[in-house]
A and B are shown apart, each in its own frame.
Chain A
Amino acid sequence: MSYLELRRVSKSYGQAASEVQALREVDLSVDAGELVAVMGPSGSGKSTLLTIAGSLEQPTSGEVLVGGAALSEMTRNERARMRRRSIGYVFQDFNLLAGLTAAENVTLPLELDGVKARTARAAGMAALEELGLGDRGSRFPDELSGGERQRVAIARAVVGDRHLLLADEPSGALDSVNGEAVMRLIRSACQRGVAGVVVTHDAQLASWADRVVFLRDGRVADQTSRPPGPESLLAPSPNP
């Protein structure tokens, strides 16, 4: 079942002669448990697609459905609540709050949503432990390595009962080993039932996805299908 659905979504900025069309009638649906990568050159509209999918921006035309509910039919408050409860974001530059510990960063979205402190803390620790950061909860961001900071950012994005994970160049400036670790974590979140969208220009990161969507000039130009298993690359060895 598709958890995120964009129907003929267009977005333009500016007026008349200076109008820029960032997205043109984009259709995209992402199932629960599916990881989709969106690839495209800069200016192709991939970040706009992500902010619209996450209800941080409104489309000029078209409809976005999250969990079957149309965003256009929600009030501003309802949309904000949905963002807090159901959607997790991972940003290129982590966006951790420097004055809060790792655990406080992770539980912040829950506490903003009115979850009791004790419950929020338990959920936060569970998310940190899942990412191998059980012993880092009381550290501040500047006491963590780049890879650890990014894992805290992912823990914050999947904490509680989130169903949609949106990531913009999630490996940021990490090296390829840490970049791969980030994609493994995102993929395992999806395997637990989260619908994931990763925007990237990096084909190695995109190749962790179930499906790769290519964006060109604001349109979906092409997409790969779910790839055949690795059996196609390998054959049983002739030597027993």
Chain B
Amino acid sequence: MYYTEYDAEIERTVSVRHALLALLSEGPKYGLQLRQEFEARTGDVWPLNIGQVYTTLQRLERDGLVESEDSDKDGPQKGFRITRDGSDELARWLRTPPDLTSPPRDELVVKVLIAVQAPGVDVHEVIQVHRHYLVELMQQWTRLKEDEAQFDLAFALVVDAELFRLDSVVRWLDAAEGRLKRAAVDPPTTPTTPRLRLRMEARR
């Protein structure tokens, strides 16, 4: 079993709450079982400690989204089932798009923008340094796909997501390089319009 640097981001990027609701939507389960199934279905890349599972279950119970099967027992013997409110909450969450409206300030974009203007800096060389790093990283992720026998569906989806993300950055670098080459041959005559500047400001 493996984990990756995603580990630290688990709370931020994956809702453990909703993942547990999803597992309970298949039928009642115990805490330990929930942990094992969560890890198996996220391609073993998101480990979850059992304490985290019980804390989350308690909060879900408090909010009326799950109920315990037998209130006399505690610990691993205690089973949980999803409530009608829990099912509604799960359906709502699955269909709520993550917030992608305001792009994060990307470190690489900022570096390329600065390299374009900094005297004595070859922006193409800077771009190639980053492209080299990204492609090498993609080679490593692709090695993970090589052994199909050990490659379950959840893990394949996670690796694909990472490869597409890195690929999009490489493609942006390619596009940036093409745009810079054209601009060098045929410099734009009109300065950046104030309106565009304002929009960039507003993003901060």
Which residue numbers of A lie inside 8 Å of B, CB to CB? 39, 41, 180, 187, 201-204, 206-209, 212, 214, 216, 221-222, 224-225, 227-230, 232-240
Cβ contacts under 8 Å, A180 to chain B = 145
Q: Is the CB of B144 within 8 A of A206?
A: no
A1 and B139 alpha carbons, distance in the complex (Å): 23
Number of residues from B at the complex interface, CB < 8 A: 33
Closest to B138 in A: A207
A/B interface sample: 30 pairs, CB < 8 A = A39-B135, A41-B177, A41-B178, A180-B145, A203-B134, A203-B171, A204-B142, A204-B163, A206-B135, A207-B135, A207-B138, A207-B139, A207-B141, A207-B163, A212-B139, A221-B128, A224-B132, A227-B136, A229-B140, A230-B144, A233-B140, A233-B141, A234-B4, A235-B2, A235-B3, A236-B1, A237-B47, A238-B47, A239-B39, A240-B1
A207 to B131, CA, bound (A): 12
Residues in B with CB closer than 8 Å to A238 are 3, 47
Output the least CB separation between A203 and chain B (Å).
4
Beta-carbon contact of B166 and A224 below 8 Å: no
Enumerate chain B interface residues (CB-CB to A < 8 A). 1-4, 39, 44, 47, 49, 124, 128, 131-132, 134-136, 138-146, 163-164, 166-167, 170-171, 174, 177-178
- Give the distance in Å from the alpha carbon of A202 to the alpha carbon of B166 in the complex: 12
The answer to whether B139 touches A209 (Cβ under 8 A) is yes
| Contact across chains for A203 and B140 when beta carbons are under 8 A apart | no
- How long is the Cα–Cα vector from A180 to B128 in the complex, in angstroms? 25
Cα-based distance from A212 to B49 in the complex (angstroms): 40
Q: What separation, in Å, do the CA atoms of A234 and B3 have in the docked complex? A: 6
Assess whether B167 is in contact with A203, with CB atoms less than 8 Å apart: yes
Nearest B residue to A187 via CB reads B146
Report yes or no: B2 in contact with A212, Cβ–Cβ below 8 A.
Answer: no
B128 surroundings in chain A (CB, below 8 A)? 214, 216, 221-222
User: What is the minimal beta-carbon distance from B115 to any residue of chain A, in angstroms?
Assistant: 16
Q: Which of B49, B145, B164, B166 has the most CB of A within 10 A?
A: B145
Which of chain B's residues have a CB closer than 8 A to the CB of A237? 1-3, 44, 47
